[in-house]
Amino acid sequence: DAGITQSPRHKVTETGTPVTLRCHQTENHRYMYWYRQDPGHGLRLIHYSYGVKDTDKGEVSDGYSVSRSKTEDFLLTLESATSSQTSVYFCAIRPDRGPPIDGYTFGSGTRLTVV
């Protein structure tokens, strides 16, 4: 999607290893989000950021940490990956103005498999 890039697109890792996913935006938006998508659960919020070094937990934050050292990058880290973290991870950004009137813009996702 224009303005938002996720990397890698696919990753297979072993249980217990650390993994970092990257979200990069070129829109200069203040708000950035990490979601995971699993069958039967839709998308669920992991963490979000409302500015450089400003982050907060979402609905399913256990086992994840995030960092935002500059506006354009939002990193999601699995400190010690578990099989339950096998999922598709989506990053999203939204305009700074008020409520998300025009919705969020989502990246294309990262498919993570923990074996």
Partner 1 sequence: GESVGLHLPTLSVQEGDNSIINCAYSNSASDYFIWYKQESGKGPQFIIDIRSNMDKRQGQRVTVLLNKTVKHLSLQIAATQPGDSAVYFCAEVAGANNLFFGTGTRLTVIP
Candidate residues 17, 18, 26, 41; the one interacting with partner 1 per rule CB under 8 A:
41
Report whether 88 contacts 99 (CB < 8 A). Answer: no
* Shortest distance (Å) from residue 65 CB to partner 1: 18
Determine the interface stretch with partner 1 among 17-25, 37-45, 60-68, 74-82 (rule: CB under 8 A): 37-45
- Mapping DSSP onto H, E and C, the string for 56-107 reads EECCCCCCEEEEEEECCEEEEEECCCCHHHCEEEEEEEECCCCCCCCCCEEC
Tell me the three state secondary structure of residue 50.
strand
- The residue from 11, 22, 24, 44 that contacts partner 1 (CB under 8 A) is 44
Cβ at position 40, least distance to partner 1 in Å:
6
In angstroms, the CA 99 to CA 10 distance is 32
Residue ranges binding partner 1 (CB under 8 A): 1, 31, 33, 40-45, 48, 50, 56, 58-59, 90, 92, 98-109
